[in-house]
Amino acid sequence: MFNQSCGIRDFNKNIRNRFKKFNEIAKNKNIDFYNKDFKKFTLFTKNDFIYLDPPYNLTTTPYNETSRLGGGWTLEKEQQMYKYIDYLNSENVKFALSNVSIYRNEENTILNSWSKKYNVHNLNFTYKNNNSHKKDNTALTQEVLITNY
């Protein structure tokens, strides 16, 4: 429900070819993909890996709007997701979470506080092609991948 293209990117021939190539590789592996509310996802074992890429609570995108999609992405949902991830960790399920620790010079204090107990990998990613950064692409944004492995 929260999928949306980022910035000036759109679905084009190159992206279509990447999807086709990925699908061919995935067919030969034991991979299951689910698009579910994380609170309803309970079908996992200790050998599983769960990747989460939620809306980033500091950003101003349509899926963060409180009027959309039954309330949009809120701080309450963000905190519920952290509890869910802590539960995954207690069950020895490997996870990775994408997010931003800083967005346009604003610190993501809730994420940064919670993530101290896990491995935080700072990603070298540029937002120069993203329309949401068009006004000021000099503002610091730090994308992170948080893992328990």
Average pLDDT over residues 131-143: 71
β partners of residue 120: 146
Q: Encode pLDDT of 30-65 as tens digits.
A: 888 887 888 888 888 888 899 999 888 887 666 566
Q: What pLDDT is recorded for position 2?
A: 44
d(CA 7, CA 63): 14
Q: What pLDDT is recorded for position 51?
A: 92
Q: Which pair of tokens denotes residue 22?
A: 């990925």
Q: Encode pLDDT of 11-30 as tens digits.
A: 788 888 998 999 899 999 88
Q: What pLDDT is recorded for position 58?
A: 81
> How many Cβ atoms sit within 10 Å of the Cβ of residue 96?
18
Q: What pLDDT is recorded for position 36?
A: 80
Does CATH number 3.90.480.10 belong to domain 47-147? no
List the chain domain ranges. 47-147
Q: How far is CA 119 from CA 38, 115, 145, 147, 149, in A?
A: 21, 7, 8, 5, 7
Residue 5: Cβ-neighbour burial (10 angstroms; 0-12, 13-18, 19+): exposed
